[in-house]
Amino acid sequence: MASEHERDESKPLSTTGHPPSSHQPVMVAEVIESLGPSRGGLFVDCTVGLAGHARALLEAGASRLLGLDRDPTALAISREALNSYGDRVELVHADYRTLPVVLDARGLAAVDGVLADLGVSSMQLDAPGRGFSFRRDEPLDMRMDTSTGATAAEMLATVDERTLADVIYEFGEERHARRVARAIVDEGRSRRIETTGRLADVVRRAIPRKGYSRIDPATRTFQALRIWVNRELDGLDEFVMTVARRLKPGGRMAIITFHSLEDRIVKHTLRAVQSAGEIGLQVLTKRPLVPSEAEVERNVRARSAKLRAAERT
């Protein structure tokens, strides 16, 4: 998966709902090394996406794989991609934070490994009509699960300026958050902001321009709104603790993040669980693993990825 900050603006976008031919799962070798699927057993890919990591886990020795994703489109693609593995694979339309419910429904007390690759996927960024990116002028949706919840346009239509400023500052780390929020709310009073192009124009006009910038001025606000719409940080700490409790002895977990807010939550939660000593969790990564220079050269969207892993001893 990738952060909107890591868009490679030089690469063409996919024009279909299918995965772009250039799709590459990030840090595959590091995932395999961290989770150790060669020992066999049941592994859970909590964000199965386009099945790149799932396929790698199966090929590396995982006996069975349970895949979750809240994006119905991604799930349909991964189901087709993993069809040849037959009953070794089960795919479920579910948010990764509902993992306990999914496991309980199948009578699974514990599993051998868990992977979560957080953030928005390359397919979601590239596919037309999803509203994650400002590269095209399209409906302002931004939902990872298009079957439920309010769109970004609907949420912007009712939010107050102070709340919006807090969202943009906290989730986008945008220092001009108050100016941007004021501009969005003011613009929305005359006519609801319903497209990515109009929102991007409003944000760009609100931010002072001082010379060349590597990223588009609208980037941080779009990231913030995406996180807000999908509640990406809500319950992340509880999810990490839940995974630790649902691992078998010797079971491992690996979590890939794409921005500092996610990584900070994962880091502190893993350390807290380890220090408490109740579960017997050992953090395997004192510092997060990051993609090699060669991988970043092949796939620019991998450059902000960080992987943290732990084992239940």
Quick one: pLDDT at residue 17?
38
- 64-69: strand order across its sheet: 89-93, 64-69, 42-45, 111-117, 247-257, 306-312, 281-283
Quick one: pLDDT at residue 289?
98
Task: Mark the ranges of the chain whose per-residue pLDDT is less than 50.
Answer: 1-22
Quick one: pLDDT at residue 20?
41
Quick one: pLDDT at residue 287?
96
Closest CA to 253 of 3, 1, 49, 37: 37
Quick one: pLDDT at residue 16?
33
Q: In whole angstroms, how far apart are CA 66 and each of 48, 220, 259, 304?
A: 9, 34, 26, 27
Tens of pLDDT, residues 213-255: 788 999 999 999 999 999 999 999 999 999 999 999 999 999 9
Cα–Cα distance for residue pair 252/12, rounded to 1 Å: 37
Domains in the chain: ranges and CATH? 4-119+233-312 (3.40.50.150), 149-230 (1.10.150.170)
Tens of pLDDT, residues 151-183: 999 999 999 999 999 999 999 999 999 999 999
